[in-house]
Amino acid sequence: MPELPEVEIVQQSLSKNIKGKKINRVLVKNRNLRFKLKPYFENKLKGQFISNIQRFSKYIIIMLKNKSFCVIHLGMTGTIHIIKKKKKSLLTNTSFYHSPILPKKHNHIEFFFDDIKLIYNDPRRFGFFLFIKDKENLKNVFKNYGPEPFDKKFNLDYLVNFLKGKKKDIKGFLLDQKFVSGIGNIYASEILYSSKINPLTPAKKLKKSQLRNIIKSSKEILYKAIKEGGSSIRDFKNTTGDTGGFQKKFKVYGRDKKNCKRLKCLGIIDKIIQSNRSTFYCKICQK
């Protein structure tokens, strides 16, 4: 599943390609996504101009000129493809997951503009689209989400108060969107490695110095991942011809049974399962 950096790359790609453009038509081929698409979805978007495109957590938010919104979540296998009418290209995917070219199957929604077409492809259909009529309703969609790692609210006081007395392990909290928005399995392992914290540590046992390290590492690692174009779990390029490069800089994720990369550490990276998710860490330097 794409995490905050990968969704940020999609958002940036969409901003370059469709910001300011008019949606001429929307074609829905399959309404049965994670949440069934409302019958009025196409008509609400038809004829609207896109004023901006933003991202919150793992969501893409298309802002329309009439102050309404289209919220997109890619789920586990959702991808957005850009088809240019004047310039044909084999590379259509705006992200770095799954096929770099437009698959023939599972194309569920199409957005038509004057010069390009956007196609939403999703084999497992865990992604979804929501039409939101105004800003107040948009706030309600995200009211139960915690701050993003880049948010000023994600600070020491917030972590101390939220985690006080909590028995759940810290890795579980980093994946809990009610605690912090946008961090997924890959970056949770990387953040805890950078912070020298064992992922199995109960949250209530963490010292303030460790919480400061989590805040610092979260910002630094996600920023670097965005700068590197996200993580390409499969080796291919996006529509700009670039690949996500952060996977080349993983310190622990996917490195089980390999030597720890930390200077002077003689540990071996271990892989365990937490809440049905793979966790990678070094038993020696993560305590």
Pairing of strands 107-112, 69-73: unpaired
Report the half-sphere exposure of 205 (CA within 13 A, side-chain side). 11
Q: Is 103 a catalytic residue?
A: no
Give the integer Cα–Cα distance in Å for 10 and 238.
Answer: 10
Strand partners, 110: 27, 119
Catalytic residue among 2, 5, 149, 199: 2
Q: Is 58 a catalytic residue?
A: yes
Give the integer Cα–Cα distance in Å for 125 and 117.
Answer: 20
**Residue listed under structure tokens 């460790």:** 210
**Residue listed under structure tokens 């271990």:** 270
SS3 140: helix
Asked if residues 27 and 112 have their Cβ atoms less than 8 Å apart, the reply is yes
SS3 content of the chain, % helix, strand, coil (to 5): 25, 25, 50
Task: Give DSSP secondary structure letters for 46-99.
Answer: TT-BEEEEEEETTEEEEEETTS-EEEEE-TTT-EEEEEESSS--S--BSSSSS-
SS3 282: strand
Catalytic residue among 44, 55, 58, 117: 58
Give the integer Cα–Cα distance in Å for 202 and 227.
Answer: 32
Catalytic residue among 34, 196, 212, 277: 277
N-term to C-term CA, the chain: 28
Q: Which residues are catalytic?
A: 2-3, 58, 277
